[in-house]
Chain A
Amino acid sequence: AQSVTQLDSHVSVSEGTPVLLRCNYSSSYSPSLFWYVQHPNKGLQLLLKYTSAATLVKGINGFEAEFKKSETSFHLTKPSAHMSDAAEYFCVVRPSGYSTLTFGKGTMLLVSP
């Protein structure tokens, strides 16, 4: 069985400061890991994915995440937050050989001027 724990339901940052959204996963098989972003009234958009290649993964809009097997973590970071980053972020796991995705409960990122 697989599961995802997003450690913070809400994260507040000021524009221009770093962003850290934390995610821990549990999976019986070598997983693929993803981060999706959901803006209000818009569909889920893939930010980045880890599929057993490089452990440091770069995504769109300056986001990146590092896969740490020993810590079963896949935290999302960005050096400098922008107002347009305000949205809900989901950490997602897909075990190897499976098609379906298991989502975390989400982290709402709030960015203040």
Chain B
Amino acid sequence: DTGVSQNPRHKITKRGQNVTFRCDPISEHNRLYWYRQTLGQGPEFLTYFQNEAQLEKSRLLSDRFSAERPKGSFSTLEIQRTEQGDSAMYLCASSSPSGLAVSYEQYFGPGTRLTVT
């Protein structure tokens, strides 16, 4: 399977702990996105990378959140001092320009479900 993969699939942590999630995009996709989905809502954009450069961050991404993509391949999303409000599904997606018709179609991974107790 050459789709987007995310690890772990589930994470339970206590409030105040730090957590880190990993996303492996489709090989050679140069863009990588992070989204957060809470219960009953659609995914909300957090941040995205083109290669190793972080090009945009949402206002949702507080100072406790940091994302990296050090070699332009996999990415990590870290949440420091977790709060109960951080409980959500964290989704990763990747995309790549497609010739002259640049659609930036995004392919999503299965997500990491975070529960903060």
Contact = CB atoms under 8 A, between A and B. Distances in A.
A106 B104 contact: no
Interface in B101-117: 101, 103-111
B104 A99 contact: yes
B60 to A, nearest CB: 12
A78 interface: no
Given A99-B31, A100-B33, A90 B42 contact: yes
| Chain A interface size range | 20 to 34
Interface in A30-72: 32, 36, 41-46, 49, 51
A105 B110 contact: no
A44 B92 CA distance: 10
A6 to B, nearest CB: 8
A90 B106 CA distance: 14
A43 B108 contact: yes
B51 to A, nearest CB: 13
A46 B105 contact: yes
Contacts of B93: 44
B91 A99 contact: no
A101 B104 CA distance: 10
Contacts of B110: 41-43
A90 B35 CA distance: 14
A39 to B, nearest CB: 11
A43 B111 CA distance: 7
B28 interface: no
A100 B111 contact: no
Interface of B: 3-4, 31, 33, 35, 40-45, 48, 55-56, 91, 93, 95, 101, 103-111
Interface of A: 4, 32, 36, 41-46, 49, 51, 90, 92, 94, 99-106
Given A45-B108, A49-B105, 10 more contacts: A43-B91, A44-B43, A44-B93, A44-B108, A46-B106, A90-B43, A99-B56, A103-B42, A103-B44, A106-B41
